[in-house]
Structure 1
Amino acid sequence: MNTPSGSPPERVLADFAERYGALTRVGEQLRRLSVTARSRDDVVEATVDADGCPTGIRFVDRRFREMAAPELGDSVREALTTAQTELSSRATALMTAANVRPLLWGPGLQGTGSASPLAPLPAELREAVTALRDFVCDAVSNYRAPS
């Protein structure tokens, strides 16, 4: 991250704003994630949303009609599992590229869903918020009204 010039509070605020912006951008990308994958036999195509929930199952051609139910079920399960695994990989890659820690995200797939209010902040962000708090407290306690 670039360190902005200016007073310490300006640097803290700029750093905080930059980190918040990065988190917001990654969060939006994670919410829009959707992955489609096929079973190895190319009979079933499954799509999952950002939470890993199925949003579509498609039979690629008519071969599914000749399959026994357990075999078709295995193809559906395989396509879903492949899509969910790829979704997890993409979410992890997004977070890694943006230097975002998975602790910021709620339950389910890491990196998807809502931010958890109980999740600890990364050390850098916690330090920035603490420095900002300290600066504001000092400024308020040292404030002298104009006479």
Structure 2
Amino acid sequence: MSEPLQERIVRAMAELEATQAAVARARADLSEASATVRSSDRAVEVTIGAQGELAGLRFSDNRHQNMTGPQLAASIMEAVQQGRALMARRVIDTFAPLTGPGPEGSVRRGLDLDWNQVFGPALDDGSPGARGRPGRDRLRDEIDEDTD
């Protein structure tokens, strides 16, 4: 015997309210979140905020003084990319339970999110096997594909 329409509506509204509360809690948790990462040469430490913004930059032990400009820039870029990837992963992990289908009998069907499309290159932390390609390869592809 099927559930009466009014009962299904009440259950769906309760699920919607619970989901909205869970999203609000996740947003609140993430609003204060940050990731602090050091470059592999240990010369640079960056702090990345929940939205991928650079929230802090510190030069460790004055190692940067013996670096060329391009070396320092590469260290900064590496640390920022790693921090952005870490924060993107934290956002995904936080919202993943809310994007999947609900429990048995739930009206929630889940969302089909392409996190790569949401975060783009932020998911690529520069490590082997990471998603995406380094920006310089994408730029090279664009130049190679340009027929003008």
TM-score interval, smaller chain: 0.5 to 0.7
- The AA in structure 2 aligned to 1:49 is G
- When Rg is computed on C-alpha atoms for both structures, the one with the higher figure is 1
**Is 1:83–2:83 an aligned residue pair?**
yes
- Higher RCO (CA 8 Å, separation ≥ 6 residues): 1
Q: Secondary structure at the match of 2:17?
A: helix
Query: What is aligned with 1:144?
Result: none
Offset at residue 109 of structure 1 (A) = 4.1
State the TM-score, normalizing by the size of structure 1: 0.60
- Structure 1 gaps of 5+ residues are 1-5, 111-147
Task: Tell me, yes or no, if the aligned pair for 1:35 and 1:47 is still in contact at 8 Å.
Answer: yes
- Structure 2 gaps of 5+ residues are 1-5, 101-110, 121-148
Task: Tell me, yes or no, if the aligned pair for 2:34 and 2:49 is still in contact at 8 Å.
Answer: yes
Offset at residue 92 of structure 1 (A) = 0.7
- The AA in structure 2 aligned to 1:67 is M
2: CA distance between counterparts of 1:31 and 1:40?
Answer: 27
How large is the Cα RMSD of the aligned pairs? 2.6
Q: Secondary structure at the match of 1:55?
A: strand
State the TM-score, normalizing by the size of structure 2: 0.60
**Do the aligned partners of residues 15 and 27 (structure 1) sit closer, same or farther apart at CA in structure 2, a change above 3 Å counting?**
same
2: CA distance between counterparts of 1:49 and 1:75?
Answer: 19
Query: What is aligned with 2:13?
Result: 13
Q: Identity rate of aligned residues, in percent? A: 27
Query: What is aligned with 1:26?
Result: 26
Count of aligned pairs: 103
